[in-house]
Structure 1
Amino acid sequence: MRVQMLGLCRFSYLGGRGFQVMHETLAERRAFLYDPERLARRWFWFENVTLPGLLAQTDPDFTLVLMTGPDLPEPWLSRLRELAGIMPQARLELVPPMEKHLDACMAAIAPHIEPDADVVGHFRQDDDDAVAIDYIRDARTDFAAMRPLWERRRRLSCDYSRGLVLKVTRDGVSVEQRVIHNASAGLTVYLPPDAQRSAVHFQHWKIGLSMPGVTLAGKAMFVRSLNHDNDSGAIGAGYPCPDDPAGRGRILVERFRIDLDTLDRAARDFGLPGADRPR
């Protein structure tokens, strides 16, 4: 059975809806998203939190769609083009502003769905979150055990619910290991290739209304980054895990290839308040 693993990463995509930070006009949203200092921070998190684990996947057989607008300012658009040229799994999709955000996401994803796959494992990869280096492998191999449940409705979610939360403030980065129920990071949505849907089409915090789901919390599988530039500053429903605080940096390195000291220095240099900010 062929399970295609297909991710969507939206890098400051300019469009309508799909956002919790709202703006009255498209021009206001463009000014917010394309602010040079904000884009520099977004790229830093993308380069130092998101990419390392993806580049180190133990199963390199996946596709990551990088979705942005055709007018993304330089040098960020050229950097995405360069990444798509050197990362075998990356596909750059430039989508003009569309009022319906889900339609825009489907326009980006649709060309990369393998029609002859038996199942597509969709995942949403925010540009400041991370998945562990064995995420693709486990999401593919674990499906074999879940297949009978998937065949009931030809929809299924798998929630790797244990992860690390990075809280970024002007004072640096704190780390906490938590179980978060159906966080967007580490959540796989298995659909048939002709479903005309993806992970973003289902609100992750209430995905149980749309399909059966399996929860696996045996090991840290995601990093959720909470910083000033998040669209949402909410952690999500869950609870802390008993662990060794001194070992959190080791987990970040071993499972995500993330260097905490680098992030901590950058957070202090950015000098911004945390994600829980007024809107």
Structure 2
Amino acid sequence: METILKISNLHKKYKNVHAVNNVSLEIHKGNVYGILGPNGSGKSTTLGIVLNVVNKTSGDFEWFDGKSSTHDALKKVGAIIERPNFYPYMTAGENLKLVCKIKDIPFTKINEKLELVGLLDRKDSKFKTFSLGMKQRLAIASALLNDPEILILDEPTNGLDPQGIRQIRDLINLIAQQGTTILLASHLLDEVEKVCSHVIVLRYGVTLYQGTVDGMLANEGYFELEAANQEKLIQVITAHPAVEKTVQQDTKVLVYLKSPLEAEELNTYLFNKQVVLSHLAKRKTSLEEQFLKLTN
């Protein structure tokens, strides 16, 4: 699989702050990657370094298997790392024409990209009349004018209302389906879970997890149990070798696992120990719970 971007042992220090601490990752063609972490985790700094707008302290990165210089490689990259910045009194079409002139891109791309982001009917509307969501979609259209091999987005839904968030997410999925590799930074778990295939979790510049989103969610999960004799239920279930811990939550007992255990097997085990369940449900640990477990 073609490697679009490879980062190796990257560091960035600002006096007493180690903003990026030994980060390594590989971005392969055709996937959607999320850099997930709370504010101050080093997401934007990492993107800034690979886009040549922030100087690294140490470490390396290379674009497209190192076959071209960073300057040449960035011509095949589309990126939005700040709020959309267009001329307010110019129309959407005029703003994109200006980008085309700067990047030596034919004007024929303008209508194509405006249609992709759902703004073709607003081509002749001034930028100042656009909502924040429309401004963000116009910025994405601008970043796609050169048909980049990878699109980089820093907090693409930041500040948007629910409708705007949904539109951006749908657009990201559409762009990915057309074969463009995407790398986005976000502090929103829901965003990463819904649009990304792979994720790297950062905290204080340190990598806590790297792999597929499904892999992060692939856990043994937990059971919700209820029985008339809750005390005996806890005593018996704690002795099961597959059980890691139990937590009481109102009338329910949450049973967390350390190895696979099916509901039927658990029910039989308890019944044989004279514990009759009135409620049994198996749950998967959510991305939020996994994230909190990692970052805590």
TM-score (norm 2): 0.29
Q: Between Structure 1 and Structure 2, whose CA radius of gyration is higher?
A: 2
TM-score (norm 1): 0.31
Structure 1 or 2: more strand by fraction: 2
